[in-house]
């Protein structure tokens, strides 16, 4: 799926962090250690 975000992402909310993230081992393997968070928000896109 290709899309482009227009403007700012608003009403962001963290709903999982640390061990609550099921795909954390994959994220760490691909992208390395970090302060991982699952977040959601709203934005306009094309």
The predicted pLDDT at position 17 comes to 94
pLDDT in tens, 8-36: 999 999 999 988 999 999 999 999 999 99
* Residue 17 to residues 3, 25, 30, 38, 45, Cα–Cα distance (Å): 26, 13, 17, 6, 26
> Does the pTM of the predicted model rise above 0.85?
no
Q: Give the integer Cα–Cα distance in Å for 39 and 43.
A: 13
Predicted confidence at residue 2, as pLDDT, reads 87
pLDDT band, residue 45 (cuts 50/70/90): confident
pLDDT at 37: 95
3-state secondary structure of 4: coil
Q: Quick one: pLDDT at residue 39?
A: 95
């Amino acid at each position: 799926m290709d899309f482009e975000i227009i403007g700012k992402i608003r009403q962001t909310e963290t709903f999982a962090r640390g061990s609550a993230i099921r795909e954390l081992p994959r994220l760490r393997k691909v992208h390395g250690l970090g302060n991982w968070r699952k977040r959601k928000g709203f934005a306009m896109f094309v």
